[in-house]
Structure formats: structure tokens, C-alpha cells
């Protein structure tokens, strides 16, 4: 127990020294990227559950309340992971913190891969909604959720893809080591 506390204090001291010297380690960048992925998944849960809650219109049903509680859990997780990720501001460079461009080659690859995939989902989904958004048959097919719900599904799917790709690729790296 005492050895773990000493190790944790030593690691925290190393992080502070590296931050003071401007050295960013690959481990810190990957931890920050993992928190970014968790935030994306939690935000996607919130968005997708809000659409599902609109789909189940009966406000007195048990499913409606379960979805509401899941949405609340998603919001709490977004705030929790956001607060936890703020501690990395001192230990990462500003470019990595704000634009997800990292010095570590693998963290930068994972970040670029997930952002590129998310961009394509948003681009093609937005294009589809822009082209078909005023068609009567398309709006009738969206009757249960509406056009706003379709946009929420698009954003939720993109955020879920972003987060899951990050967490999957980082876990794949841990499995290889």
C-alpha cells in the first residue's frame, strides 16, 4: 500500500516536471485521447436517448423514464469526464488539447482516423439531409422523430463513432503490448 502511494507521488512529480519543461509523454497524450473518446460516447448516449425518448411518446411508461434516467447519466458522464480531462491541460501542449493533434505518432494516428471517419459521417449525412430534407416522402418517413430528431441521430451516430473508434484503437494498442 505504501509502495503504491510512493509510486503515485513519483509519477505525479514526473508529470509536473515534464509539464514544466514542456515535455509531453505519449502516455499522457493517450490518456487524454481516451477521455475525449469517453466524452464523445457519453454525449452520443445523451443525444440518441433523447431521440428514443421522443419516439416513445407515452410519458407515463417505464421505458420513457428509463430513457430519461439514461439521458441524465449521459449528461453527468459528460460533465464528469470533461472535468477529469481538464487536468491534462497542464500536461499536454495546446495544439493537442484543443485540436487533437499530438506529438505521439500512434495517438495522432488514432485521433486523425476517428476525426476523419466522423467528418465523413457528418458530411454525407448532412448532404443526405440537405438533399432529401424538403421531400414530402422523406419527412413522412421521419414522422415519429422529425427532422430535428434525424439531425440528433446524425450527430449522435457521429459522436458515438468518434468515441468508439478512439477507445477501440487505444485498447487494440494495449492488447499488442
Determine the Cα–Cα distance for residues 43 and 49; give it in Å rounded to an integer.
10
Quote the number of domains for the chain: 1
Residues 13-64 have pLDDT tens digits of 766 665 554 556 778 888 888 999 999 999 999 999 999 888 776 777 888 8
Residues 113-165 have pLDDT tens digits of 999 999 999 999 999 888 887 788 887 887 778 888 889 999 999 999 999 99
Structural contact between residues 163 and 39, judged by C-beta atoms closer than 8 angstroms: yes
Residue numbers of the domain that contains 104 = 2-176
Does residue 93 have a pLDDT over 70?
no
List, in order, residues 6 or more apart from 52 with CB less than 8 Å away: 67
Does residue 79 have a pLDDT over 70?
yes
**Stated pTM of the model:** 0.79
Amino acid at each position: 500500500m505504501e509502495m503504491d502511494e510512493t509510486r503515485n507521488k513519483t509519477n505525479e512529480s514526473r508529470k509536473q516536471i515534464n509539464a514544466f519543461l514542456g515535455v509531453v509523454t505519449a502516455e499522457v497524450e493517450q490518456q487524454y485521447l481516451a477521455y475525449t473518446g469517453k466524452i464523445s460516447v457519453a454525449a452520443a448516449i445523451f443525444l440518441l436517448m433523447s431521440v428514443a425518448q421522443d419516439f416513445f411518446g407515452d410519458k407515463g411508461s417505464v421505458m420513457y423514464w428509463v430513457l430519461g434516467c439514461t439521458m441524465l447519466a449521459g449528461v453527468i458522464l459528460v460533465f464528469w469526464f470533461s472535468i477529469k480531462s481538464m487536468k491534462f491541460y497542464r500536461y499536454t501542449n495546446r495544439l493537442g488539447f484543443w485540436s487533437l493533434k499530438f506529438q505521439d505518432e500512434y495517438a495522432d494516428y488514432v485521433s486523425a482516423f476517428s476525426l476523419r471517419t466522423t467528418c465523413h459521417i457528418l458530411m454525407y449525412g448532412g448532404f443526405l439531409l440537405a438533399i432529401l430534407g424538403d421531400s414530402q416522402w422523406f419527412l413522412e418517413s421521419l414522422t415519429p422523430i422529425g427532422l430535428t430528431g434525424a439531425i440528433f441521430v446524425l450527430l449522435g451516430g457521429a459522436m458515438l463513432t468518434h468515441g468508439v473508434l478512439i477507445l477501440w484503437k487505444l485498447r487494440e494498442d494495449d492488447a499488442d503490448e
